[in-house]
């Protein structure tokens, strides 16, 4: 019976040894499977994270670009507003200086010169010369310099001074006012003042 017991013990040892090897093999396979699954999951997670980061970065870049464009537009708008304000102030000062000039003797000489220039164009009768109310005192002077038959009318459109002339029969008009001469300088001023908004 001792031989039988010995055989049974060896059989149990062999079975236990085989079971232990199978258990280790299964554990290794499970570990290997887990590693592969984890590696696969890690790759998936990293890929998804990379995609999300790229998306977030693109959205941030887009947001920054929009914000910069908005800021640039606001700065340009502010600069344009400031430029307009400075231009208006310069032209208001020029208008005041020209208004002061209309009170000096040189203004009458200017009106005479303008009337002489107009007389070369308006040679047919029916010419209407428009002046501002304050310049009625110069009517005779203007008439003499113009030399041709004309009619005078008061114009509320002339703020600073000068002469407007038109002849319906000839179909022509001329603006020799200080108002239009000043306004014509706006474009030149904007181009040459060094206040360009680029």
Residue 174 near residue 120, CB atoms below 8 Å: no
Would you state the CATH architecture of domain 102-192? 2-Layer Sandwich (3.30)
The structural domains of the chain, with segments of one domain joined by +, span 1-75, 102-192
What was the pLDDT predicted at 26? 82
Please choose, from the candidates 100, 148, 110, 147, the residue with its C-alpha nearest in 3D space to the C-alpha of residue 131.
Answer: 110
Q: What pLDDT was estimated at residue 3?
A: 66
At 198 the pLDDT is 56
- pLDDT at residue 106 in the model: 92
> What SS3 string covers the chain?
CHHHHHHHHHHHHHHHHHHHHHHHHHHHHHHHHHHHHHHHHHHHHHHHHHHHHHHHHHHHHHHHHHHHHHHHHHHHHHHHHHHHHHHHHHHHHHHHHHHHHCCCHHHHHHHHHHHHHHHHHCCCCCEEEEECHHHHHHHHHHHHHHCCCEEEEECCCCCCCEEEEEECCCCEEEEEEHHHHHHHHHHHHHHHCCCCCC
Write down the residue that tokens 């009768």 correspond to: 125
Query: How would you write the pLDDT of the chain (198 residues) with one tens digit per residue?
Result: 566 777 777 777 778 787 788 888 888 888 888 888 778 777 777 788 888 888 888 888 888 888 888 888 888 888 888 888 888 898 899 999 999 999 998 999 999 999 999 999 988 888 999 999 999 999 999 999 998 888 999 999 999 999 999 999 889 999 999 999 999 888 888 787 776 655
Tokens at 115, concatenated: 């009337």
pTM exceeds 0.85 for this model: no
């Amino acid at each position: 019976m001792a031989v039988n017991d010995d055989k049974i013990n060896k059989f149990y040892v062999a079975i236990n040894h085989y079971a232990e090897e199978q258990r280790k093999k299964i554990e290794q396979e499970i570990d290997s499977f887990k590693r592969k699954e984890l590696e696969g999951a890690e790759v998936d997670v990293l890929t998804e994270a990379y995609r999300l980061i790229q998306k977030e970065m693109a959205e941030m870049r887009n947001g920054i670009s929009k914000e910069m464009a908005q800021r640039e537009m606001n700065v340009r708008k502010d600069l344009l507003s400031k430029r307009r304000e400075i231009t208006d102030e310069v032209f208001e000062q020029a208008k005041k200086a020209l208004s002061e000039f209309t009170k000096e003797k040189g203004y009458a000489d200017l009106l005479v010169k303008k009337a002489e220039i107009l007389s070369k164009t308006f040679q047919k009768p029916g010419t209407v010369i428009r002046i501002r109310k304050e310049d009625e005192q110069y009517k005779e002077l203007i008439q003499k310099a113009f030399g041709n038959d004309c009619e005078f009318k008061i114009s509320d459109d002339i703020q600073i001074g000068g002469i407007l002339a038109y002849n319906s029969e000839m179909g022509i008009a001329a603006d020799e006012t200080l108002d239009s001469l000043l306004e014509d300088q706006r474009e030149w001023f904007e181009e040459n003042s060094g206040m360009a908004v680029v």
